[in-house]
Copies of this chain bind each other. A is one copy, B any other.
Amino acid sequence: MTISGKNLVAGEWTGKVEGGFTAFDANTGEALLQSYADATEAEINEAIVSANEAFKTFGTLAPAQRAQFLRTIGEQIVALGDELVEIATTETGLPAMRIQGERGRTVGQLNLFADLLDSGEYEGVIDLADPQREPLPKPDTRLGYIPLGVVGVFAASNFPLAFSTAGGDTASALAAGCPVVMKAHAAHPGTAELVAQAILKAIEICQLPKGVFSLLQGKNYAIASQIVTHPLVKAVGFTGSERVGLILQQQINERPEPIPFYGELGSLNPQMIMANKVAQDGEVLAQGLVASLMMGQGQFCTSPGVWAIVEDDNYAAFEAAAAKAICEQPAGVMLTPKMAEGYIATVEAWKNSGATIVAKGKAADVAHHASAYLFSADLATFKNTDLLREEVFGSTALIVRCKDAAEQQEFISYIKGQLTGAIHAVEADLDATRQIAQLLVHKVGRLIYNQMPTGVEVCASMNHGGPFPASTDLRTTSVGSKAITRFQRPICYQNMPEELLPSLLK
């Protein structure tokens, strides 16, 4: 495979590569040689119009045919072999083993939706006619689901495969019957192109219309704006920062026709650490939290960013164990030099925020590598300092020291919506845990007991989403088989002859 640097617009590789943007070797911080063509207004429009054209046939395919397409995409991604792992490793700085694992998850997600389609489980309710009913006969009504239309998807920086080109949003949109117009993340355009090549092969093998999938490269915000405001785009999936997510939300709000916007914007992922747990098991817990914080160099949306704990007699030992674990952490490469810069600037701002440094990981010997940090603050400081209540994208956590259990409960009132929240407790904490759980459940999309928030299961019972600003639509999940419902809508067929019903409603 060779990288062209071009956009994939409905089966054609287009665009002017010379003078385009470049990505970086995350490990060295240096610009890579390959240039990429910024998608033009005409290319974006062509991609969307072709997608809408493709929708006319793709949107009516039998579920089994869509399942076949998803499985074929997975096979073609695997067939990319080591080249995919190498380029993703270079572009993101993530280790090869992590990329291999993520590839497995990406293919697994595609197959999960294929299994769902083959099972027919996601379909319909049938209420038969009752001509004898008084005072009026009951008509035959059957509830099915149809795809929304063209979906715009924005790739995430931190999961170059599982939340990018053929990631969860793409897989669930295609599973639903929606063509996808994908905006690649500018930090890993080569990874995106290789995966797009795999999808194009799958389109050819399955003989689908080419407009079913397009890949647009670019660094320019105007690309995003054009996608989300295009009248033929009927839903948008986005994983990224709160700042960019809110810009997209605002643009979408200006459309004449409202459309679903599924923005997954990150999270502090509060850890509620109960008193008896600290007494019995504080050191192991501290080590576990640090290990979770270090996953992907803290660049997970489920990273445990804030830990609320009562400052009792056992606190000092807990803090010491956490500090010791942090001190042992080597500095690490971040996804992009710019993100490393942003992370380092945030840590500097925290140093002047009223929070205290508890521990620092090993120093970085390269400018764009980053060290881990652990800070602490009392509840009043947390409450009064906006900066400490915002997500840090990197391996920094904040311990919020509460005077007593009441303050620990009060802490929950100061946090915004979260993807996850965890309670670390033992049986002796049960009553206090129940109270915490009743408050925390209204702030989170996933409530965890004695496990770490990192590591999101891809299954039917997963919810990856949560109250704003964790996500812009708290009624849905971006991970797991229920993600398909984001791109479908209900339709009631009344008194339809069998020949005109979808196969699953007959």
A141-B461, A257-B468, A258-B472 known; A455-B136 Cβ under 8 A: yes
A473 proximity list for chain B (CB < 8 A): 258, 260
Number of copies: 2
Beta-carbon contact of B136 and A60 below 8 Å: no
| B446/A492 in contact, CB under 8 A | yes
A403 to chain B, nearest CB (A): 23
- Which residues A295-315 have CB closer than 8 A to chain B? none
CA separation between A127 and B463, bound complex, in Å?
Answer: 12
- What string of 1s and 0s marks CB contacts (under 8 Å) between A458-469 and chain B? 011111010111
Q: Report whether B491 and A146 are in contact in the complex, using a CB–CB cutoff of 8 Å.
A: no
- A239 CB–B CB distance under 8 Å: no
Segment with Cβ contacts to B, from A25-33, A266-274, A285-293, A431-439? A431-439
CB atoms of B60 and A127 under 8 A apart: no
Do B455 and A496 touch across chains, with their CB atoms under 8 A apart? no
**In chain A between 124 and 164, which residues have their CB closer than 8 angstroms to a CB of chain B?**
124-127, 136, 138-139, 141-143, 146, 148-149
Interface residues on chain A, number (Cβ under 8 Å):
67
- In the complex, what's the smallest C-beta–C-beta distance from A220 to chain B, in angstroms? 25
- The listed residue (B146, B434, B463, B482) touching A441 by CB distance below 8 A is B146
The answer to whether A413 has its CB under 8 Å from any CB of chain B is no
Q: Tell me the complex Cα distance, A185–B102, Å.
A: 54
Q: Which of B124, B253, B447, B488 contacts A491 (CB 8 A)?
A: B447
- Beyond A146-B442, A457-B138, whether A492 also contacts B253 by CB under 8 A is no
Whether, in the assembled complex, A490 has its beta carbon less than 8 Å from a beta carbon of chain B, the answer is: yes
Mind listing 16 A-B residue pairs with CB under 8 Å?
A127-B457, A138-B457, A258-B468, A260-B475, A430-B497, A434-B500, A445-B490, A447-B491, A462-B492, A463-B492, A465-B490, A467-B489, A475-B488, A475-B490, A477-B490, A482-B490
Which A residues lie at the B interface, using CB under 8 A? 59-60, 124-127, 136, 138-139, 141-143, 146, 148-149, 249, 253, 257-258, 260-261, 430, 433-434, 437-438, 441-442, 444-451, 455, 457, 459-463, 465, 467-469, 472-477, 482, 485, 488-497, 499-500
